[in-house]
Each structure stands twice: as structure tokens, then as C-alpha cells.
Structure 1
Amino acid sequence: MKNIKKYIKRKISFLKKPLDEYKRNKRFRIRAKYSGYINKYKVKSDIIFYESYHGQNFTGNVLAIFLKLREMEQYSGYTHVIVCNELNPFIERFSLEKNVVVVTVDDDKYLKYLAKAKYLINNTSFPYYFIKRDEQIYINTWHGTPLKTLGIDIKNAGITDHKNIQRNLLQTDILVSPNEFTYKKLLKSQDIFEVFPGKVADIGYPRVDLTLNNERSKVLERLGIPNHKKVVLYAPTWRGSLGNESDTSKKLLDDVIQLKGFLGSEYVVVLKAHFFAYKYFKENNLEEICIPNYFDTNILLAGVDILITDYSSIFFEFLPTDRTVIFYGEDIELYGEERGFYLNLDTLPGPLCYKINEVAECIKNEGDTRKQYNENYKRYKALYCYNDDGNSTLRFIEKVLKNDTNHKFISTSSNKEKVLFYCGAFYNNGITTSVLTLLDNIDFNKYEVVVIESPEGNNEKWNNIKKVNSNVHFIYRPGELNKTIFESYRHQWILNRGVSGKMMEVVVPKDLYNNEFKRIIGNVNFDYAINFGGYSDFWGLIFAFSGVKNKAIYLHADMAEEFNKKINGKYKHKKTLKVIFSIYKYYDKVVSVAESTHKTNKENLQKYVPNATEKMTYVNNLVNDKKVNVLKDSYEVIQYNNTKYLILDQSHRSNFIRVKGTINPDPKDVNFVTIGRLSPEKGHEKLIRAFSAAIKQIKNMKLYIAGEGPLKEFLQELIVELNIKDNVFLVGQVENPFALINRCDCFILSSNYEGQGLVLLETMIIGKPIIATDVTGVRSVLEGGYGKLVENSESALAKNILEFALVKGEQGKLDYPKFDYIQYNKQAMERFYNVVLNNATIKNT
């Protein structure tokens, strides 16, 4: 009866969870509705969807394109969908037209039209949930030539801050660019230049046409400014932060008032402020000094005689007017130090002023100002404005919208084969060590390598990501799964049961996982997808149903043992591996990291893998010989309170240096060392008990254990309980364990099973004696006589610890063959190419 109640309770919870989430979570409802509309509606070829600046206003390139298409008879039968979150007189005028629909971001109409419009035109990015359907054409115009750095080039940016811009560009079919400089900086700053799947149209910005083709007098008339006045526009970048808009806005107000005072009645000074600053002025009844937010900046520039800006891209689009530009910003050099500029400020096409009175003097002496900066002005026009002839919008319609096959679009994607990795979250473990080495050895002349990752993580993760070879691109996954309520049930069912049996193969939401893959990587066509991590059920499903032709998944241990592994009484991997095992059949290669591990995994798991003899294989992990050989001799010994310490880790922060190490191994002692995660499979309890038994006979022995993990507290208590805290040291996780191995006499591995025992290879490079348990993943490493394989028991470890201590220094008894790590790595890399990247069929026994 009790079991029946638990079963019913579990089922009720399963049924309620998606419904409760739909009720409580607004973002879930939005994603669910959008997913439903994608499933429901076909793409309609007569709908054009326009969005600029996330719907904050309807201006710029998107407006220019709309205005031109609105005039053309060919597009009069189209539905034009404008995204604008707040109605204004400008938008209201268009909304009265029968074929124009105005929507706001995230509302139902927005979601429907985003799902079914054929043409999607944006100047920044669509929300996280957006996914471009195969029948849609996504045109991104971006919004300016960059003076200040973007994406990963920003000095103080977070590692993943650019993730949604990056994701949108990967879904872009056509990127409209004003010049070569812009598209190169934009794509490189998003880390996708060589893998960008779309085409670049270097045709100029449609919005510049609004500046060149509007009459000055008519613009001034709309603004109520007398035609005979000289118009000075102050258009700064917004420097504030959300919640603190007033600080920046008050400074703008003071500058405008002072400038008006300096210049007198001959001039009219107007301010074009950022959306947030304008909002502040409006709320404080000061909006008369501002040009309305909805008034397009490029139309405004047609009526301007002198432009004042700081590091905004607006000045690039003012240059074709041949009118004066002045740069002003008290903090512009500090901004450059904190964020960075792409161009040298000394080359700007106008004076750089730090005080508002300096700006006024430059305006009053405009003739001298222009003469002084004339050469810079001409150079900038030649480099950045070569497309600005007033016809960019027409070029856009003819070459982009009408898909002119004669136009030579630009492709930045390399011709190399493209390889996608999921690396396993970059924890401090053997998987990370292995993949870092592999990524350092791939032939980047032949392969374009991309790593896909979650944007969340701690310092441990980001420190490891910083170690990845600089040739590798990173794509970060923003947002969450787009799923309907029904898909939520199916997804959860798979996470609970895996894809085992005919019924579950029907239940599995393959389209959901394939769509999620496309939502992240966009239009990129990968030749290979390698799930190197091998433990994540989410990424396992995403890769399995990705549609990539060649898919491989790695097995880093005896996976049956991993399935049954318990930590503190709880199964560590059972739930996720149940899913992982069930989807091995969807991968082309199931790759163990050592031959003995492969044999064990094949014996235990071949029931999950059809054609296991062909699909299940192995590729030895590579070893980072350069790192080992450098770090083994890179250490420092310091003395504190009459005790010498070996420094194994240093970090610098502000004015502090943090050092980490352990008691320096004394040559008079017999020093043993082991490296590994403090987890059950590593057998540390067994080793400590064996060492405790051995030390009763030989006192001058020390054991150093480097690593972190869930058993740390238990092992600390065990060491105290056995009264060996002066002989056994838990060193923790350190950057340089190789110096410790080099300073000790013998490496000892007590694992119950391993994937490969990468640390054994590293120890073999250093040339230290090895004692290791004869288990899966270790056997194939040491079979060549590179160490001593012993029975996997406490008594065998104790016996061999004593034997080594007795013969320490008698070299004849400790003579091991030299490890040819160069040849080893060469063979491992060749096998990786043959097995994983060529999808070769290797017969395995």
C-alpha cells in the first residue's frame, strides 16, 4: 500500500510540474507559445518582420528599409510587421495602414509573426527563444561602424556576455555591412568569423540614405527650428546604468545649458539622448531640450550642421555630409582603458575635447577646426564611407531581398572541416586535462574547432576555459529549451527512463532536441559532433539528435562501475547514465579512452549499441608532455616556522599573492605520491589503510595525496583516526602536481577502475617508479613494463609499499623502460583522426 501511494504521488508530481511552471513562469509561457506557433504555422512568403533595438524604437536601417518597401508597388500586398513596444505619433501613422501590423516584444502577435514571417530584419538580436526556421530568411543589419570594442574584445566584459548576439549572427542568412572594417570586427568579436554560415553584403547602410536623401529645411521644419540657424547636435553614448539614469542625465543637461550659453543665439543646440536618458528627461518635464526618442537619428542628421559626440558610431554616418564633427568626453581616455577602442583616438576626423568650453571654442572657430582635421576626415571617408552614395537601400532590395544571384556576397567561413565539441563543463578532472591536450594537438590548418558550452559556471570552469588553445571557437548556450507543455512531458519522461524500448523511441521528442541544437548553433553545418564529456544527459540528447552526420561520444571510465558508483550513500551517475546508455545507439562511434577500458565497456554495454563491433572502439588520451616537462622542474621551496614547504600553486589578486603547497618531501624519507579526485573509484581509503599498515614497519615514509572531491572530509577523519596525520598529507587541488611527483620517490595509484589513468602517463614522462592496481584503464597503460601492476587490495598495496621502501635507491631493481611520449602522442592523434574524424570502421575485439 505504501509503495502504491508513493507511485501515485510521483505520477501526480510528474503531471503537475509542467502545468505549474506554465502558470507561474511567464518566460516559460512565452517559450511554450512560440514553440506551439512554430509547430502550427507554415512560413508565409508575403510577411516581412521588422525589429530594431529590441522594440525600444523603430529607427535606423530597419526603418529605412521599411520606408522604401512601403513605396514600392511590388510590396504593397505584403504584410509589414513593425515591432515597437510603445506607440508614438510616428508609429501610429503607420499602424493605420491596412497592411501594417504593430506588435510589441513577447506579445502573442509578436510570437505568431516571428514564427511565420519569411523575412526577418533586425539591427541587433531577437530574444533567446528565437530559432530561424529553414524557410525563413534572417537579415541582420547591425547598427553602426564600431569605434569602441565589441564582444570578446571588450576589456571588462564577462566571458559569455556576447552569447545572444553571437547566437543571432549564427542564424543570420545575410549580414548587411557599411564597410569591410565593420563586418570583420563584428564577426571576430563574436568569435565566429571563420564559422559564420551566412553571407555578408558590403553594400552600405540603408539608414545613411535617410541622411543623404532628406532635405535640411524639411527636417528643421519638422523640428520647429528656423532654417537660418546653425544646428548643433549633441549625441553622446549613454554612460549610465539601469537604476542610476539620473546621474548621467543631469550631466547631459548641464552640458547642453552651458553650451547654449557659450554659443549664443546664432546657434540652436539639440540633444539626442539614449533611450534611458530620454526617459529620464520626459519623466522630469525636460523633454523639450531633447529630440524625441522616436525621431530617427539619421533623418535628424540631415538637418545638422555640427555634430558633437564621444565614442558613438554616429559620426561615421555623418561624414558623408562633409560637415564638422567634434569629439567630447571627459572620460573618453578612461573609457578606452576600461573597455577599449578599435581605432587610435589621435586619428579621429575632428578635435577631441575634454571640457565643454573647449567644444564651444572649436565650434566658434569652425573653419580652422575643419582645416586642421581635413586629412583625417578624408581618410575616414575613404575607409568607412565608400558605400555611402544615397543608394544603399535600393542595393539592399535588389541584391539582398530579391536575391540577386549575380551579386558577389562575401563569405568569411573557412573551407576547413568543422568539428563541434562538448567537453564536459571544464571541471578540474581528468576529462578536462584530456580535452585540453587534445585541443592543443588538433591540426588547425585542416579543422575549424568549436566548443559548445553553458554560460554558467564558477572560477574553476573559467580558469580551465582560459587554458584552451586560442584557435578554438566557443559558442555559449543562452536561454532554455523551447518546449510546449506536451513536449515538457515527453522530455521529462526521457530524462526519467531513457530511450529504451519501442515505446520510448516513439515518445522521444527528436524535433525538440534538434531544434534546440539549431537554436544554439544556427545555420552552421558541422562535419563532426564529439560529445567528449560523455556524462551529461542533456548534451547527450542534443548531440544524439543534432542531425550532424558523424557523431562520437566518449567513455572515460568503466561506465558500468560509474553507473553503480555511490558517494555518501547516493548514486552519483545512475540517473543520467541510464539516459546516456540508451542513446549510444544514435552515435556513430562510442569511444573509450584506453584499450582495456574499451574491452570492459564493450563487454558490459554492447547490448545498448547495435553493431557494437564496428561502433565501439577506443582512442588513447594524449599526454601534455610539454606542460609536464616544464612544470616538473618549476617549483619554489620556502621556509616557515623551521619547516620547508613546496609551493605548487600561486595566484595574484590586487596587492595579494596567494600560495598553496605542502610540506617539502625530505630525501631522507621514502615519499609516495598519488594524484586524483577524492572519489570512491580512486580507492583512497584503501590506500590510506594500506599505508597505515606499512608504516608500522617502516616509520620514515610519507604519502602525499593531491586532489579535491566529495570524500575529503571522510579521508581527513580517517587519517586522524589512524594516527598518521604526520605521515599522510591531503594536498588539495594544485596547478602544478608534477613538481610534487618529481620530488617524491614513487607514484602510487590505488584506483578500483580508471578510464586510462592519464596521471600514469604524466608520471612516466617524469620517469618515476609506479605502483598501480591491476584494473580497467590502468592495465593497458602499464602492460609494457612501465610500472608494477598489483592486485587491487589493501594487503597487496601494503606489501608493495614496504617492498619499494626497502629497495629505494637500488636502481637495478627499479629499472623501467623509457616512455617514448612523442611516439605515443603521434599514434594517439593518428587514431583520433582515423576513428573519430574520418568515421572509419575499425574492427575491435
Structure 2
Amino acid sequence: MKKVLFFIESLSGGGAEKVLTDLVSNLDATKYEITVCSLVDVGVYNDYLNSICTYKSILPNRDTLNALQKRVYGIRYNLIRKMPAKWLYSRFFKEKYDVEIAYIEGFATKIIGNSTNPNSKKIAWVHIDLYANHWTKTEYKNLQEEKEVYQNYDHIVSVAKSVQDAFSKRFGITNKLSVKYNPIDREDILSKAEKPLDNILPKKGIRLVTVGRLEDQKGYDRLLEIVKKLKSDGFVFELWIVGRGSQQSDLENYISDNDLHDVVTLQGFQKNPYQFVSASDAFVCSSRSEGFSTVVTEALILGKPVVATDCSGMTELLGDNEYGLITENDTESLYIGLKKFLSDASLRVHYTEKSKERSVDFDINAIVKSIEELL
């Protein structure tokens, strides 16, 4: 059996973390002995992963510590972020693995890229457009250092062709690249979506839903601006935002200041977001940048029409507006797109049918098999 290590910063509930969980649970257990290691023991998938593979973390969950332990934790965390990556690797990973995978950009990629195990195959996963959103640069001294880390890998996987193109444009690396779409468990999603929601008020017109971390990347600040305009236009609709993140209080303040409580509901993090998507009339992706959007894929699996901004992976998912409505990636264009969608019942019916048509294309077995060939 091959010993495979996946390293990730945390399992905090984002799309990459969910996809990793689906991937690990579908890899052939007779071929691979899998370890998932996170930097911090935070997330919603930890217990489940521990039941199907070896799961461990370098640091504990900060929320479980007392005041003194939290101070020590803070010191350790800051030291880890500053220490040489090669030294950290040798300290973190005493066991020898046949395959070592950095499953997220940034810190995890830097650590595995400095592996002291000369016999392992090293794979980096890229989930986002690093040309449009070069968020990983804070982990490195300069662009050259980051490029050199990637050159230490045997293979670099991107989750969409557009993500791969952006990666090559950023780092000038054109070899050892491949595209592997996210493995998503279609049957599991459909099963979970069947469970009815409790204590949900009747719909107020068309119900829009979006799912994601409450961070700048997801564009919920501009989505609320659009909601305000659409309400002023007289449209009868509501928006559910499912997720949590650092912008929570900012979004709450905007909703309060602009009297949007009757339109917008922040649903918080949900272990089963598919119930919420299933109970909606359409899915909205307002992201400033993406890789290959897990939540848009899930919305299509559930047969929901999609309105999305034009970021990486969207044309691969939705075609040239064939399976969903793609707008330019700015506030005004998304506003116009949503206004058109809310105004035109025939358009909503059309994209509902096209979404159902696209739904059958997501075969997790074929995708996992192609990833196993890489390992």
C-alpha cells in the first residue's frame, strides 16, 4: 500500500476542505494508507476524517484552551509561521510517505515543497486563480522564492483549466501541470438535500441562496449593495447567505443600517447546506475570484439555476451562458444580471432545466480514478 500524506492548514469548512474530505473517502482503501494533517485542529470534517483515515494536527483547537494555554498557543503559532520551512517539515513529519500532497496554496505548499524526504512524490494542489488573487505572496519573501518552491514539486494540479493558465502566467511554469476537477459526491449531496428544513418561514417571492465563507473574496459586501438596489426597484425576493467568516459583523451592520432584515438572512455555517440550496429558487455566486467553484457545482447537481460572476472555472461549469447566467465580475454587471433573472420567469425556467441537464455530468468515480493514476 502506498502511504499518502495530505497537508492542509485547517478543515474550517471551505470548499477545498470539503472536496478533500470527499476525495479521501473515495480513494481505494486497499491501495492507499492515508494521513490527513492540518496545521490547526479547527474544522467540521475532523471527526469524519478520523473515522476513515489517520487524522492529526500540529496545533490544537485554540477555542478549547484556557487563557494561559492560549498565550502559549499564540507564541507557538507565530513561531511556526516564521521558522524555516525545511526545519518545520523535519519537525512535523517524522514518518516517511510515498506521496506528499500540499492540498492548499500558501503555507502548506511551502512546507511540503521543502520536504527532506528525497523518495516521495510531491504534489501541489492549486484551487484558485493566483494571478487575479495572489493571496499566497505573504508566505514568501518574494515571487522567486514561491516559484522555486513550486519547482520542487513533481506535479502541480489545478482544479480548472483557467486556474492552470493563471498559475502559468503568474510563475512562468508550464511543465508538470494537469487539471483535475474537484471530486464531488453527487449521490451524497442529493441524499442530504432531501432532508426538510425545520422552522422555515414561507418564501417571500423568489428565494436566492449563496453559500461560502464571509470573506472579501466571496463578494457578499457588493451582493448586499445589489440587494439594496433590487429592493428599491420593487422586486419581491429574499436572500439566504449560508456561511461564517471575518466579515460577519460588517455584513450584519450593513443589513441593519439599510433596513434589509426583511430581505436578507445570514444563516451561519451549516453542516448540511444542501437543504438550504434545495429550498431555494436559484443560486448566486458573487465571488471576486474562485478556482473551480464547489458550491456552484453542488447547486447544479441540485438542479438550481445559477447566476455567477465571471471568475476562474465558471465557463468550464456553465459554458458560454449555456447552463447558467454569467455576468462580468463587477457590482453593476451582477446587479443587471440578477435584475434580468428576477424579471424574466421564462429565463428562470430555462436555466432550471439546463442546470438539471448539467447535473448528470459530475461523476465522482471517474474523477477519483484519474487522481489515483496521478498518485
> What's the secondary structure of 2:138's corresponding residue?
helix
| C-alpha contact 2:207 2:282 (8 A) present in aligned 1 | yes
User: What CA distance in whole angstroms lies between the structure 1 residues aligned with 2:339 and 2:85?
Assistant: 58
Instruction: Pick one of 116, 130, 136 that aligns with 1:559.
Output: 130
User: Which aligned pairs between 1:736-775 and structure 2 lie closer than 5 A?
Assistant: 736-775=272-311
| C-alpha contact 1:698 1:802 (8 A) present in aligned 2 | no
| C-alpha contact 1:556 1:593 (8 A) present in aligned 2 | yes
User: Which aligned pairs between 1:352-363 and structure 2 lie closer than 5 A?
Assistant: none
Instruction: Pick one of 593, 605, 621 that aligns with 2:159.
Output: 593
Q: 1:716 to 1:820 in 2, by over 3 A?
A: closer
CA RMSD of aligned residues (A): 2.8
> What's the secondary structure of 1:796's corresponding residue?
helix
| C-alpha contact 2:112 2:122 (8 A) present in aligned 1 | no
**Per-residue deviation, residues 335-374 of structure 1 (Å, max 9, x unmatched):** xxxxxxxxxxxxxxxxxxxxxxxxxxxxxxxxxxxxxxxx
Q: Give 2:191's aligned residue.
A: 630
Q: 1:812 to 1:541 in 2, by over 3 A?
A: closer
In the alignment, does 2:114 pair up with 1:544? yes
Q: 1:764 to 1:419 in 2, by over 3 A?
A: same
In the alignment, does 2:71 pair up with 1:532? no
User: Which aligned pairs between 1:45-444 and structure 2 lie closer than 5 A?
Assistant: 416-444=1-29
User: What CA distance in whole angstroms lies between the structure 2 residues aligned with 1:797 and 1:810?
Assistant: 16
1:514 to partner: Cα distance: 5.8
In the alignment, does 2:370 pair up with 1:807? no
Q: 1:799 to 1:833 in 2, by over 3 A?
A: same
Q: 1:543 to 1:821 in 2, by over 3 A?
A: farther
Q: 1:540 to 1:720 in 2, by over 3 A?
A: same
| C-alpha contact 1:665 1:743 (8 A) present in aligned 2 | no
1:631 to partner: Cα distance: 1.7
User: What CA distance in whole angstroms lies between the structure 1 residues aligned with 2:205 and 2:85?
Assistant: 61
Q: 1:803 to 1:527 in 2, by over 3 A?
A: same
| C-alpha contact 1:807 1:813 (8 A) present in aligned 2 | no
**Per-residue deviation, residues 662-687 of structure 1 (Å, max 9, x unmatched):** xx351x51111111111111111111
> What's the secondary structure of 1:544's corresponding residue?
coil
| C-alpha contact 1:424 1:536 (8 A) present in aligned 2 | yes
In the alignment, does 2:354 pair up with 1:816? yes
> What's the secondary structure of 1:673's corresponding residue?
strand
Q: Percent identity?
A: 23
Q: Give 2:139's aligned residue.
A: 576
1:447 to partner: Cα distance: 1.5
Q: 1:665 to 1:531 in 2, by over 3 A?
A: farther
| C-alpha contact 1:753 1:778 (8 A) present in aligned 2 | no
> What's the secondary structure of 2:101's corresponding residue?
strand
Q: 1:472 to 1:690 in 2, by over 3 A?
A: same
In the alignment, does 2:56 pair up with 1:516? no
Q: Give 2:66's aligned residue.
A: none
In structure 2, list runs of 5 or more residues that go unmatched. 61-78
Q: 1:420 to 1:694 in 2, by over 3 A?
A: same
Q: Give 1:616's aligned residue.
A: 177
1:777 to partner: Cα distance: 3.0
Question: Which one has a bigger Cα radius of gyration?
Answer: 1
User: What CA distance in whole angstroms lies between the structure 2 residues aligned with 1:829 and 1:711?
Assistant: 34
1:811 to partner: Cα distance: 6.2
In structure 1, list runs of 5 or more residues that go unmatched. 1-415, 480-491, 497-507, 565-572, 607-611, 639-644, 646-663, 838-845
Q: 1:577 to 1:718 in 2, by over 3 A?
A: farther
Kindly provide the amino acid, as one letter, of the partner of residue 184 in structure 2: V
User: What CA distance in whole angstroms lies between the structure 2 residues aligned with 1:810 and 1:478?
Assistant: 50
User: What CA distance in whole angstroms lies between the structure 2 residues aligned with 1:822 and 1:477?
Assistant: 38
User: What CA distance in whole angstroms lies between the structure 2 residues aligned with 1:616 and 1:516?
Assistant: 29
Instruction: Pick one of 368, 371, 375 that aligns with 1:832.
Output: 371
Structure 1 length as normaliser, TM-score? 0.39
Q: Give 1:672's aligned residue.
A: 208
> What's the secondary structure of 2:354's corresponding residue?
coil
Q: Give 1:713's aligned residue.
A: 249
Structure 2 length as normaliser, TM-score? 0.84
Q: Give 2:34's aligned residue.
A: 449
1:746 to partner: Cα distance: 0.9
User: What CA distance in whole angstroms lies between the structure 1 residues aligned with 2:32 and 2:339?
Assistant: 50
Q: Which has the higher contact order (CA 8 A, sep 6+)?
A: 2
| C-alpha contact 1:754 1:776 (8 A) present in aligned 2 | yes
1:750 to partner: Cα distance: 0.8
> What's the secondary structure of 2:175's corresponding residue?
helix
> What's the secondary structure of 2:241's corresponding residue?
strand
User: What CA distance in whole angstroms lies between the structure 2 residues aligned with 1:665 and 1:741?
Assistant: 15
User: What CA distance in whole angstroms lies between the structure 2 residues aligned with 1:478 and 1:801?
Assistant: 43
> What's the secondary structure of 1:467's corresponding residue?
helix
Greater alpha carbon shift after TM alignment, 755-764 vs 730-739:
730-739
1:822 to partner: Cα distance: 6.1
Q: 1:665 to 1:770 in 2, by over 3 A?
A: farther
Kindly provide the amino acid, as one letter, of the partner of residue 32 in structure 2: Y
In the alignment, does 2:49 pair up with 1:468? yes
**Per-residue deviation, residues 151-210 of structure 1 (Å, max 9, x unmatched):** xxxxxxxxxxxxxxxxxxxxxxxxxxxxxxxxxxxxxxxxxxxxxxxxxxxxxxxxxxxx
User: What CA distance in whole angstroms lies between the structure 1 residues aligned with 2:51 and 2:279?
Assistant: 32
